[in-house]
């Protein structure tokens, strides 16, 4: 295999970790709570801009901003679930309502940070340029951090869902909310906590994006095409599956970029989505789905 392709595969695996972090929140809330929350894209974007702002103007270390971004995302998820519980929306209404929220945030971010591309200044961002070399193959630090975080999320979420009482309640609700309620599971509390957790993951993804990519409000549209194949391939509510699917999509997009240029990547991810829908609509890792 030529070096270019090896490099594409290595980078694809690493960036697949980022895709997994971006997707796991949406996957959890869709799989367990039956809410398709497009506002996750808003909070990925917002998390990224908060990281950008704190590093660019206050000089924080980009990873230190997680101390603000994660609690912020958690609170946003909690608030959103409180709203959804209060209005008693179904799956479709949640899709349209969160689309409305997405549009509002899109407009708000544009009015705060303008439509221009923003990048954390290189002197404030030690992660963007650092990389290790194995032979001629570069391993960039920033996506590597995201990949490690994705591993941690996959393991931690699986542990949480399979080994704890909270996780059992989540799975009970995902399986049958009525019966779960009859057995004394507090649907409201569990749903609110899970939504907060899911949104915290998404906001975290924003921080990772800010460490090595340029930001503009419009890039969030391009994420749709990456996140949905990952969510569907990974299986709804399956964090380990999301990591596997993220790596698959990352590698495929990386190879496509190496062979035909960056414009081909969205096409390849869409083809993967179509193939996933045709052959494995329940996800590649369905048998091991935690939720």
Partner 1 sequence: MTARRRSLVGFALVFLVLLLVPIFAERVDAPGFYLTFMFTAFFWIGQATSWNMLTGYTGYFSFGQGAWFGIGVYTIGILAAKEGWPFLLALPVGGILAAVAGTLLGVVVFRLRRLGGEIFALTTLAIAFVFASLARLFPFIDGGRGIFMTGTPLPEFLGDFRRAMYWLTLVVAAVTVLTAYLIHESRLGWGMFAIRDDEQVAEGLGVPAFRTKMLALVANAFFSGMMGGVWALQIGFITVEDVFNIRVPLFVILMSVLGGMTHWLGPAVGAIIIFTLTDRLNSAGLEDVNLVIIGTLLIVLVLAVREGVYLRLAERWRITVPIFVGAMILFGLTPIGSSVIWDFTFASFVTLLVSLIPTRAEPARIDDDGAERQAA
Site string for partner 1, 21-60 (x = CB under 8 A): ---------x-----x------------------------
- In angstroms, what is the minimal distance from the CB of 175 to partner 1? 17
Q: Does 274 bind partner 1 (CB under 8 A)?
A: yes
Cross-strand partners of 137: 134
Cα–Cα distance for residue pair 250/256, rounded to 1 Å: 10
Site string for partner 1, 197-226 (x = CB under 8 A): ---------------------x--xx-xx-
Q: How many residues does the chain have?
A: 291
- DSSP-derived secondary structure letter, 72: H
Is residue 212 within 8 A of residue 224, CB to CB? The reply is no
Q: 3-state DSSP helix/strand/coil percent for the chain, to nearest 5? A: 80, 5, 20
How many residues sit in the footprint of partner 1 (CB under 8 A)? 38
Cross-strand partners of 118: 215
Q: Which residue stretch of 65-73, 87-95, 147-155, 181-189 sits at the interface with partner 1 (rule: CB under 8 A)?
A: 87-95
Per residue, the 3-state secondary structure of 92-146, as one string, reads HHHHHHHHHHHHHHHHHHHHHHCCCCECCCHHHCHHHHCEEEECCEEEEHHHHHH
Which of 213, 228, 257, 286 binds partner 1 (CB under 8 A)? It is: 228
Between residues 60 and 228, which has the closer beta carbon with respect to partner 1?
228
165: left (phi over 0), alpha (psi -120 to 50) or beta: alpha
108's CB contacts (< 8 A; 6+ apart) are none
**Residues of this chain, 107-166, that bind partner 1 according to CB under 8 A:** 107-108, 111
Q: Does 75 bind partner 1 (CB under 8 A)?
A: no
Is residue 24 within 8 A of residue 44, CB to CB? The reply is no
Between residues 62 and 241, which has the closer beta carbon with respect to partner 1?
241
Site string for partner 1, 231-270 (x = CB under 8 A): -x------------------------------xx-xx--x
- In angstroms, what is the minimal distance from the CB of 12 to partner 1? 18
Q: Does 93 bind partner 1 (CB under 8 A)?
A: yes
Q: How far is Cα of residue 132 from the mean position of the Cα atoms in its chain?
A: 25
Which of 99, 177, 187, 257 binds partner 1 (CB under 8 A)? It is: 99
- In angstroms, what is the minimal distance from the CB of 268 to partner 1? 10
Q: Does 82 bind partner 1 (CB under 8 A)?
A: no
Rounded alpha-carbon distances, angstroms, from residue 66 to 105, 146, 168? 20, 12, 28
Cα–Cα distance for residue pair 197/142, rounded to 1 Å: 23
C-alpha closest to that of 54 among 62, 45, 46: 62
Q: Does 79 bind partner 1 (CB under 8 A)?
A: no
Q: Does 96 bind partner 1 (CB under 8 A)?
A: yes
Residues that bind partner 1 in the complex, under the rule CB under 8 A: 30, 36, 87, 89, 91-93, 95-97, 99-104, 106-108, 111, 218, 221-222, 224-225, 228, 232, 263-264, 266-267, 270, 273-274, 277-278, 281-282
């Amino acid at each position: 295999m030529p070096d270019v392709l090896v490099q594409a595969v290595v980078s694809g695996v690493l960036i697949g970790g980022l895709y997994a972090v971006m997707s796991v929140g949406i996957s959890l809330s869709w799989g367990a709570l039956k809410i398709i929350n497009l506002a996750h894209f808003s909070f990925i974007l917002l998390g990224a801009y908060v990281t950008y702002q704190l590093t660019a103007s206050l000089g924080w270390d980009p990873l230190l901003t997680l101390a603000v971004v994660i609690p912020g995302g958690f609170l946003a998820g909690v608030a959103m679930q409180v709203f959804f519980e209060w209005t008693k929306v179904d799956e479709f209404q949640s899709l349209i309502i969160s689309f409305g929220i997405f549009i509002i945030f899109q407009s708000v971010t544009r009015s705060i940070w303008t439509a221009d591309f923003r990048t954390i200044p290189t002197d404030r961002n030690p992660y963007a340029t650092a990389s290790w070399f194995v032979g001629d193959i570069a391993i960039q630090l920033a996506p590597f951090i995201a990949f490690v975080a994705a591993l941690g999320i996959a393991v931690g979420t699986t542990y949480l869902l399979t080994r704890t009482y909270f996780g059992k309640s989540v799975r009970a609700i995902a399986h049958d909310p009525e019966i779960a309620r009859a057995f004394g599971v507090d649907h409201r509390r569990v749903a609110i906590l899970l939504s907060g957790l899911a949104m915290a993951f998404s906001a975290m993804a924003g921080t990772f994006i800010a460490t090595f990519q340029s930001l503009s409000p419009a890039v969030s549209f391009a994420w749709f095409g990456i996140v949905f194949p990952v969510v569907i391939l990974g299986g709804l509510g399956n964090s380990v599956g999301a990591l596997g699917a993220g790596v698959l999509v990352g590698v495929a997009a990386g190879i496509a970029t190496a062979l035909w240029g960056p414009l081909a990547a969205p096409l390849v991810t869409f083809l993967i989505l179509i193939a996933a829908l045709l052959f494995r609509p329940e996800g590649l890792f369905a048998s091991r789905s935690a939720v």
